Structure 1
Amino acid sequence: MDVALSITAFPVLARILAELKLLTTPIVETALTAAAFNDVAASVLLALAVAISDTGGGHGPVTSLWVLLCSAAFVAAWMVAVKPAMGWVAGRADAAGEGGSEVWVAVTLVGVMASGFTTDLIGIHAIFGAFVFGLTVPKEGV
């Protein structure tokens, strides 16, 4: 319960700071970085807590370890393979001009769904996969 409650309302914080036009100040950048790191760490801990506490169906510590290892492999694979691919797609969408934005949206939606589906197969919530996919989207471009 503590882990679930430690997750911040990061989008709300970012929206409030954007409306106050404070997003570019160094202290706010530090605060948002700390909040993002806190959310990532809490999400990982929450996934681990859910995997460990899953007692239905005879799951035990071996299953929990498997979920943890698969989750780490998922994050590593997405950062190594999907992040550069998304950068390439963003570059192509920029170069394509007007017609590239539809391709960008389609690829992003498919990526979010695939990430969520993969984490659901692993045994953690699909929102974790969508969050990890969001980390692969480049800041510049499109």
Structure 2
Amino acid sequence: MKTFTPHILLVALMTYGCIATASQVYKCVDEAGSVSFGHTPCPVEVVNPTGYNKKDSVEERMEMISSIDGEIARLQRQMRDLRLNLEYRLKRAEDIDQQHLLRAQFQSQTTELLDTLSQLRNDRGELVNDAVKILMAKKNS
């Protein structure tokens, strides 16, 4: 038993020493497809955002975002006015068929407005993402 203890201790120390000196190895593949290994992370290629032109600026994007925000606010006011008008007309309508007709008209009007609002919000989100990408590209260059 005593002879095994030093051998076990020696194996344990050797294993621990190897683990302690091990470091992370990074596998990098370049554009040509060649593979290299190293102890430092692979270099990150800075990619310009889609549609990014050096002439474009964040200020131009912000102006477009501001314009879209104004249009969104206008459409939201229009939706509110339509809803208030519907409520007023429903209170005055005596016939149930007339109420159904009013609701159908409101539905068709608001469906179109909601589609437009959705598209404007998507466009706004893309502009914000592009502005962030431009800023990141400028920061990394």
Q: Tell me if TM exceeds 0.5.
A: no
- Between Structure 1 and Structure 2, the one with more strand by share is 2
Give the structure with the higher percent helix. 1
Where relative contact order (Cα < 8 A, 6+ residues apart) is larger, the structure is 2
TM-score range, shorter chain: 0.3 to 0.5
